[in-house]
Chain A
Amino acid sequence: ETGVTQTPRHLVMGMTNKKSLKCEQHLGHNAMYWYKQSAKKPLELMFVYSLEERVENNSVPSRFSPECPNSSHLFLHLHTLQPEDSALYLCASSQVPGGKPEAFFGQGTRLTVV
């Protein structure tokens, strides 16, 4: 499969659970991103990884912990979440610098915290 793949597509978790979201890109890109999409709010950039190094963390609570073991994989580890963390989590990748300027997105993980 080409493009950006996210698993799982849907996740329901309790506030005391620990879970992880996975993202894999097959585009040969060197940068990966986590975005959060909540109802009635703009898309929020959470984390940026470039060459497997975290280069941006937009004041995201520590209950979200990203991991980028290589340039093709990105994880978002979740623990002790709150109901307001329920949202669509989108992974994206791009090639910077020097590549095409657009980012490619996965289909997202719909997270519900109960």
Chain B
Amino acid sequence: GDSVTQMEGPVTLSEEAFLTINCTYTATGYPSLFWYVQYPGEGLQLLLKATKADDKGSNKGFEATYRKETTSFHLEKGSVQVSDSAVYFCALSKGGSTLGRLYFGRGTQLTVWP
């Protein structure tokens, strides 16, 4: 079935370090891919998305490229800040007949130290 696998955390970095959080997916057809972020005590916020192969989603310095050949959607940021500390979720949606349900990875806790 459809699923998302993302790297286990927690990830701990110093401010201005480079971030990569790996995400791979299994799905039939052509899913849309997302990264959501959850700050402490909050719900999920859409961080970025890509809807077709080779698309790059970007927002707030974060980027992820939809790689169909490797079924991956890795999240990257060149220089993290303390304010980026949060839990990051990779997700996919197939829309249409699946009624927009999202398949989530287990989440990766990121902590950035000053």
Contacts and interface: CB of A to CB of B under 8 A. Distances in A.
Contacts of B99: 31, 48, 50, 55-56, 96
The secondary structure that dominates the A interface is strand
B37 to A, nearest CB: 11
Contacts of A94: 100
B49 A101 contact: yes
B100 A108 contact: no
Nearest to B34: A102
Interface residues of A, number: 26
Interface residues of B, number: 24
B104 A97 contact: no
A94 B91 CA distance: 15
B96 interface: yes
Interface in A46-88: 48, 50, 55-56
Interface of B: 32, 34, 36, 41-46, 49, 51, 89, 93, 95-97, 99-102, 104-107
